[in-house]
Amino acid sequence: MKRYAIILAAGKGTRMKTELPKCAYPLLRKPMIAYIVENIQNTGLFDEILVVVGHKREVIRDILGDKVTYVVQEEQLGTGHAVMVCEPFLADRNSDCMILPGDMPLVDTKLIENAIQQHAERRHDLTIVTTKVEDPDGYGRIIRNDSGYLDAIIEHHEATSSQRTINEINTGIYVGKASVVFDALSKINAHNTKNEYYLTDIVGVMKANKDVIGTYFLKESYKAMGVNDLYALSIAEAKLRLNINKELMLKGVAMINPETITIGHNVIIEENVIIHPNTYITGNSIVRKGAQIGPNTEIHESIIGEGVLCRHSLVYNSIVEEKTTVGPFAHLRDGAHIGPKNRIGNFVEVKKSTTQENTKASHLAYIGDATVGKNVNFGCGSITVNYDGKNKYQTTIGDDVFIGCNVNLIAPIQVEDNALIAAGSTLNKNVPKGSLAIARAYQVNKENYIRDKNKDDEKY
Ligand code: UD1
Ligand code: CA
């Protein structure tokens, strides 16, 4: 038997009051919809994932790529309608389907697995995941009969004031037999305050059909938090941040002022790392043992080696090897690969360049499109002049090269091993091995110049 996941992500997210489709909003710099899809995939329990898209569907497609099958819901006529449009995509009507809203980023693999397991064990036609919350405002309420069995789900807008006091809510997650769900959906209507097809109305239809409906009760209610507005987004993000940070701290990652530290969902941080305040480490980044990161540092899609010290800096799509120091105020980007025991210091930018071990650019330098050897010293203010306004050119620097202060290396250029470049030189020719290159005007001292000049001035 096949099992499908159906994720509802076509809604505009009117309550967000902004342009981006709701499910594309990021938490810890990762879009909301990506969490649920990734967690579903990680369970390994599904044959196919269908994502219902509509409003600004291209944004959702950009995020998820070809990991899922897209089902277009042209008009957003409600959650029931969103599931209805999936029917032609389910090749096997005898399959099971799990329906999840795309606006619940805190749903984890454990919740998905447990709901599916209970549904299978109890052989229900439909299992609805419910939970209890302190503030049920906005959620569908779970109405039970005197024996405790589910009677109905009443949407907030349709509920009477006494029903609104019920704090058991519909999480919006369901597992059911596809045939039963689609049969019930064909019988619902949009006669309600919102004129929408409510998925929750299948409960009434199924009960009339004597289908068996069960509920799975979720103890950790925060996991079912639906993000409908930007305030809820901030609360969900804070919860996620806290969970990730706590888990890391218990594994031996020290955090100073952890509420100011943002670590992404896919980041790996090894033990004995210390993270200082106001630091972001996101994307598929890895931080190896003993590194110290922050304060005020951003690391995205990058690998930071053992014992690296990285302070007040930005590192994007780059690799920093062990025992290198980065910052304060350095910027590594676009495939910078810094070798071991380097020093990339104050106000140094490195772009699409590699260095071997023990190379230093301690202050005020730009290294772009360069291949740099070991034991190279970039003096303060040295620059690879890589761009002529149209094209980018390569700089190659060998081992043990000493580059004086304020040197311009006009690319394409090659500086061979052991070369020495005099401060203030602007080079546009290659430098052979072991040479001294000097390219600057000679100094002329005009003696007594100032005194004579003042005398001249007095004449006027
Ligand atoms: C829904 C449930 C409610 C539950 C709550 C849990 C219904 C009628 N109500 O309400 O019982 O307590 O979730 O969070 O199901 N969507 C579409 N197409 C549409 C409409 C919505 O794809 O035509 C998507 C949205 O993008 C969203 C999800 O379905 O990801 C849920 O829709 P939303 O409007 O947020 O439903 P709620 O009002 O929160
Ligand atoms: Ca919602």
pLDDT tens by residue, 96-118: 999 999 999 999 999 999 999 99
Tokens of 102: 């795309």
pLDDT for position 341: 98
Domains of the chain: 3-224 (3.90.550.10), 262-340 (2.160.10.10), 353-460 (2.160.10.10)
pLDDT at 83: 98
Catalytic residues: 363
- pLDDT in the model for residue 340: 98
Ligand 1 neighbour 52 (Cβ under 6 A):
yes
pLDDT digits (tens, 9 = 90+) for 177-210: 999 999 999 999 999 999 999 999 999 999 999 9
Residue 10 Cα to ligand 1 middle (Å): 10
Q: Is the pLDDT of residue 296 over 70?
A: yes
Closest Cα to atom 14 of ligand 1: 226
Which residue lies with its CA nearest to atom 16 of ligand 1? Answer: 11
pLDDT computed for residue 192 by the predictor: 93
Query: What is the distance, to the nearest Å, from the Cα of residue 210 to the centroid of all Cα atoms in its chain?
Result: 45
Question: What does the alpha-carbon distance between residue 122 and residue 105 come to, in Å, rounded to a whole number?
Answer: 27
CA-nearest residue for atom 31, ligand 1, is 101
Average pLDDT over residues 274-300: 98
For ligand 1, the distance from its centroid to the CA atom of residue 219, given in whole angstroms, is 21
Mean pLDDT along residues 230-259:
97
Share of the chain above pLDDT 90, in %: 94
254, 248 in Cβ contact below 8 A? no
Helix (H) or strand (E) segment spanning residue 316: strand 314-316
Q: Is the pLDDT of residue 374 over 70?
A: yes
At 458 the pLDDT is: 61
What's the pLDDT band for 13 if we cut at 50, 70, 90?
confident
Task: Tell me: pLDDT of 64 over 80.
Answer: yes
Beta partners for 142?
Answer: 153
Give per-residue pLDDT as tens, 318-353. 999 999 999 999 999 999 999 999 999 999 999 999
When pLDDT is cut at 50, 70 and 90, the band that residue 301 belongs to is very high
- Measured distance CA(40)–CA(43) in Å, rounded: 6
For the chain, the average pLDDT equals 96
Token pair, residue 39, equals 């967690």
Over residues 410-429, the pLDDT tens digits come to: 999 999 999 999 999 999 99
Three-state DSSP class for residue 334: coil
Confidence (pLDDT) at 114: 98
Nearest by Cα to 232 from 49, 330, 388, 106: 106
Q: Which atom of ligand 1 is nearest to the CA of 225?
A: 14
Nearest to 200 by CA among 210, 213, 209: 213
Check pLDDT > 90 for residue 451: no
User: Is 459 a residue whose pLDDT tops 60?
Assistant: no
Whole-number Å distance, alpha carbon 190 to ligand 2 midpoint, is 18
Q: How many CB atoms lie within 10 A of CB 298?
A: 20
Query: What is the structure's pLDDT at 450?
Result: 76
Token pair belonging to 345? 């210091």
pTM above 0.95, yes or no: no
Ligand 1 centre from 226 Cα, in Å? 9
What is the rounded average pLDDT of the residues 284-297? 98
Strand-pair partners of 282: 300
- Residue 54's CB: how many other CB atoms inside 10 A? 21
In the 8-state DSSP scheme, what is residue 88?
G
Q: Is the pLDDT of residue 452 over 80?
A: no
Query: Is 60 exceeded by the pLDDT of residue 460?
Result: no
- Check whether 457 has a pLDDT greater than 70: no
Q: Supply the pLDDT for residue 200.
A: 97
What per-residue confidence (pLDDT) applies to 121? 97
Residue 192 Cβ contacting ligand 1 at under 6 Å: no
Q: What is the model's pLDDT at position 454? A: 65
For residue 264, pLDDT beyond 80:
yes
pLDDT band for position 18 (cuts 50, 70, 90): confident
Q: How far is CA 249 from CA 4, 245, 272, 281, in A?
A: 36, 6, 10, 15
Q: Does the beta carbon of 8 lie inside 6 Å of ligand 1?
A: yes
**Rounded to whole angstroms, how far apart are CA atoms 34 and 23?**
9
Q: Which ligand is nearest to the CA of 166?
A: 1
- The b/e string for 195-207 (b: 16+ C-beta within 10 A; e otherwise) is ebbbbbbbbbbbb
